[in-house]
Amino acid sequence: MNFANQTIWTGDCLDIMRGMNSDCVDLICLDPPFNSNANYAAPIGSQAAGAEFKDTWSLSDLDNEWLNLIASKHPALYRVLLAAMTDSDKSYLVYMAVRLLEMHRILKPTGTLFLHCDPTMSHYLKLVMDAIFGRKNFRNEIIWHYSGWNKRLKSHIERRHDIILLYAMSADSVFHPPVRHWESKAEYIRVRKQKVRTDDEGREYVLSDAGGGNRVRRYLDDVWEIPKLNNSDKERTGYPTQKPLALYRRLVETSSKEGDLVLDPFCGCATTCIAAQDLGRQWAGIDVAGKAIELTKMRLRNELGLFASPIHRSDIPLRTDLGKLPRPSSHKKTLYGEQAGNCEGCGEHFQIQNLEVDHIIPRSKGGTDHIENLQFLCGSCNRIKGNRGMEYLQSKLQLS
Ligand SMILES: C[S@@+](CC[C@H](N)C(=O)[O-])C[C@H]1O[C@@H](n2cnc3c(N)ncnc32)[C@H](O)[C@@H]1O
Ligand SMILES: [Zn+2]
């Protein structure tokens, strides 16, 4: 792991994750924007005032170029993205796909990912996840159901659940089946429909427990009934999309062990991080909104009595898992051969001395000096691209 436990980044999770070593995270919980056509803003005066993020999407030239890049490297994923019904859906899915690819890279082979979404896009996201994680690694579609007052609606039934997709990296991924405790002996007797007996030492048992004295564990199914935060909840920070701690505690408990590293790349007011801290896990969070770090500090203090501040960063970590890499310029001959002397942007042929080594993903966005991230561009294409990704250069070349 090339960053410290208890770090919160302010920035786009795509850039930050690109700087993280491969195979270093045990569990990722993400609750990204849902493509719900809403612009969330925190109520004025709440602890979270000033936190705001966009959840509206339209297909840009950049998205189209991302699509082209995905088409060449991940054909199965590309086919899934083409299934989107509208440009807005496609734009959203491209945005999610490039980030989920990065999450798949940084997860350990024993890792797990929970993707929190809702019925707006869950059916598409499941296809995206199948393409990236493999269909055999799908484990559950958890329904988080919350109650509330149901109005009479004109065209549909009240929607009262979110969906959490659980994907494992492999058959070796950590899994502790979630259990719920019995509320009382009376509830136990009612549900189990068995007489509670007492053995010679005074321990209670039912016949099917073979006299072990323990009440049988009560394993949960995939529909979880957990109340949504209401306005007067003590837990509430006012962050527009804050989720209940009880829900995220259950995710962290189910798929990680003490000491494991848990990452939330869209951490908001850091519910995942608070749950992880409380359960003795290591953690890190990322959010584009600057408000996240302030709220995390406040919550660690209020809810866990923890005064140690998390580390706050906005720079991209430097990967340390690629070994000591040779200077980019030492790859000139190889790149010239691989590209048959053509500029990777405009496609024109050049002499080797007229081509320049370029970082496909710029170093300022987490790109490395590894040859896989290097290419030859002519001077003109290199100047257009500057410090941006290939999708930018391609969209500019198409427009000119
Ligand atoms: C649904 S909220 C997460 C709420 C969180 N689970 C909580 O309990 O507070 C989604 C978050 O993603 C953040 N976000 C949106 N785009 C992002 C990006 N590209 N990188 C990192 N964070 C992003 C938003 O600022 C917002 O806080
Ligand atoms: Zn060129």
φ/ψ of 384, rounded to 5, equals: -65, -45
Note whether 205 and 224 are same-domain residues: no
Closest protein CA for atom 12 of ligand 1: 266
Note whether 303 and 377 are same-domain residues: no
Indicate whether 1 belongs to any domain. no
- pLDDT of 306: 67
- pLDDT of 4: 96
Note whether 302 and 163 are same-domain residues: yes
Residue 393 Cα to ligand 2 middle (Å): 10
Cβ 104 vs Cβ 132: under 8 Å: yes
pLDDT above 90 covers a percentage of the chain that reads 57
Indicate whether 112 belongs to any domain. yes
- pLDDT of 54: 58
DSSP line for 81-137: HTT-SSHHHHHHHHHHHHHHHHHHHHEEEEEEEEEEE-TTTHHHHHHHHHHHH-GGG
Q: Which of 283, 313, 343 is the last residue of a domain?
A: 313
- Read off the pTM: 0.85
Indicate whether 320 belongs to any domain. no
List 38's β-bridge partners, or say none.
55
Q: What CATH number does the domain containing 305 carry?
A: 3.40.50.150
Note whether 234 and 128 are same-domain residues: yes
Range of the domain at 200: 181-217
Residue 381 Cα to ligand 2 middle (Å): 4
Residue with the larger pLDDT of the pair 107 and 85: 107
Note whether 96 and 162 are same-domain residues: yes
How many CA atoms lie less than 13 Å away from 122 in the CB half-sphere? 18
Indicate whether 124 belongs to any domain. yes
- pLDDT of 99: 95
Q: What CATH number does the domain containing 333 carry?
A: 1.10.30.50
The separation between CA 313 and the C-alpha centre of its own chain, rounded to angstroms, equals: 18
- pLDDT of 44: 43
- pLDDT of 329: 92
Q: How many domains does the chain have?
A: 3
How far is residue 170's CA from residue 137's CA, in Å, rounded to a whole number?
A: 6
- pLDDT of 62: 63
Which of 95, 266, 286, 313 should be mutated for ligand 1, with most atoms under 8 A from CB? 266
Residue 350 Cα to ligand 2 middle (Å): 9
Note whether 34 and 79 are same-domain residues: yes
Q: Which atom of ligand 1 is nearest to the CA of 34?
A: 1
Residue with the larger pLDDT of the pair 72 and 209: 72
Note whether 226 and 261 are same-domain residues: yes
Q: Which of 199, 217, 235 is the last residue of a domain?
A: 217
Note whether 140 and 40 are same-domain residues: yes
Indicate whether 322 belongs to any domain. no
Indicate whether 114 belongs to any domain. yes
Residue with the larger pLDDT of the pair 54 and 319: 319
The separation between CA 90 and the C-alpha centre of its own chain, rounded to angstroms, equals: 18
Q: Residue 370 above 50 pLDDT?
A: yes
Identify the DSSP state of 152.
P
Residue with the larger pLDDT of the pair 133 and 368: 133
How far is residue 1's CA from residue 319's CA, in Å, rounded to a whole number?
A: 9
DSSP line for 266-290: T-TTTHHHHHHHHTT-EEEEEESST
Note whether 53 and 136 are same-domain residues: yes
Identify residue 320 by its one-letter amino acid code: T
Residue whose entry in the numeric block shows the structure tokens 């427990």: 209
Q: Kindly state the average pLDDT of the residues 84-97.
A: 87
Residue 2 neighbours by CB distance under 10 Å: 12
How far is residue 72's CA from residue 374's CA, in Å, rounded to a whole number?
A: 16
Identify the DSSP state of 364.
G
Indicate whether 37 belongs to any domain. yes
Note whether 130 and 230 are same-domain residues: yes
The pair of structure tokens assigned to 110 is: 């024993």
Note whether 98 and 137 are same-domain residues: yes
Note whether 212 and 237 are same-domain residues: no
Q: Which of 38, 31, 308, 36 is nearest to 142 (CA)?
A: 31
Q: Which of 189, 217, 245 is the last residue of a domain?
A: 217
